Structure 1
Amino acid sequence: MESLGTAIIIFLISATFVIMAGVGLARFGDALAEATGWGKLWVGTLLVGIATSLPEVTVNVSAVWLEHNPSLALGNVFGANMLNVFVLGSAALVFGVSNLFGKQGRDTELLMLTGLVLVILALAFGAFGDIKVFGPTSVGGLLIGAAYLYGMRKVYTAGRTQMELEDVPSPTGSARNAWIGFGISVVVVIIAGRYLAASADAIAEASGISATFIGVLLVSIVTTLPEGSVTVAASLRKSYGIAMGNVYGSNAFNITIIFIADFFHTKGPLLREMQSAHFAAALAALALMTMGYFVFKSFQSRTFAPMRYLTPAIPVIYVGALYVVFVLGQA
Structure 2
Amino acid sequence: MILNVWTEFAVCFVLIAYAGTKLSLYGDVIADKTGLSGNWIGLIMLATATSLPELITGLSSVALAEVPNVAVGNILGACVFNLTFLVIIDFLHRKESIYRRASQGHVLSAGFCVIMIGLVGFNVLLGQRNGWAIGHVGIYSPVIVLLYVIAMRSIFLYEKQQMIEYAEDVTDRYADLSLRRAIVGYGLAVVVVVIAGVRMPFIATELSSTMGWHTSFVGTLLVPVVTSMPELSVTLGALRIGALDMAIANLLGSNLFNIVIVAIDDLLYQPGPLLSYVSVIHGASAMSAVIMTGLTIVGILYRPQTRVLKTVGWISLGLFTIYLLNSTVLYLYEE
Asked if 1:318 corresponds to 2:319, the answer is no
Matches within 5 A, 1:214-233: 214-233=218-237
Secondary structure of the corresponding residue to residue 281 of structure 2: helix
**Partners of 2:8 and 2:236 in 1: CA distance:** 28
Q: 2:258 aligns with which of 254, 259, 279?
A: 254
Matches within 5 A, 1:13-162: 22-23=20-21, 25-95=23-93, 99-128=97-126, 129=130, 131-133=132-134, 137-162=137-162
Aligned twin of 2:168: 166
Could you give the per-residue CA deviations for residues 145-180 of structure 1, whole angstroms, max 9, x where no partner exists?
Answer: 111111121112122223323245679754444444
Unaligned runs of 5+ in 1: 301-307
**Partners of 2:11 and 2:131 in 1: CA distance:** 37
**Partners of 1:40 and 1:196 in 2: CA distance:** 28
Most deviating of 240-249 and 274-283: 274-283
TM-score of the superposed pair, with normalisation by structure 2: 0.80
The one-letter code sitting in structure 2 at the alignment partner of 1:267 is: P
Unaligned runs of 5+ in 2: 305-312
Is the CA contact 1:81–1:254 (under 8 Å) kept in the aligned structure 2?
Answer: yes
Q: 1:191 to 1:262 in 2, by over 3 A?
A: farther
Is the CA contact 1:39–1:168 (under 8 Å) kept in the aligned structure 2?
Answer: no
**Partners of 2:215 and 2:287 in 1: CA distance:** 18
**Partners of 2:27 and 2:59 in 1: CA distance:** 22
Matches within 5 A, 1:173-184: 174-184=178-188
Is the CA contact 2:121–2:282 (under 8 Å) kept in the aligned structure 1?
Answer: no
The one-letter code sitting in structure 1 at the alignment partner of 2:93 is: F
**Partners of 2:4 and 2:282 in 1: CA distance:** 28
Please state how far the C-alpha of 1:236 moved relative to its aligned partner. Answer: 3.5
Indicate the RMSD between aligned Cα atoms, in angstroms.
3.2
Asked if 1:263 corresponds to 2:267, the answer is yes
**Partners of 1:40 and 1:101 in 2: CA distance:** 16
Q: 1:146 to 1:205 in 2, by over 3 A?
A: farther
The one-letter code sitting in structure 2 at the alignment partner of 1:252 is: L
Please state how far the C-alpha of 1:38 moved relative to its aligned partner. Answer: 0.8
**Partners of 2:244 and 2:194 in 1: CA distance:** 29
Q: Between the two proteins, what is the percent identity of the paired residues?
A: 28
Paired residue total: 320
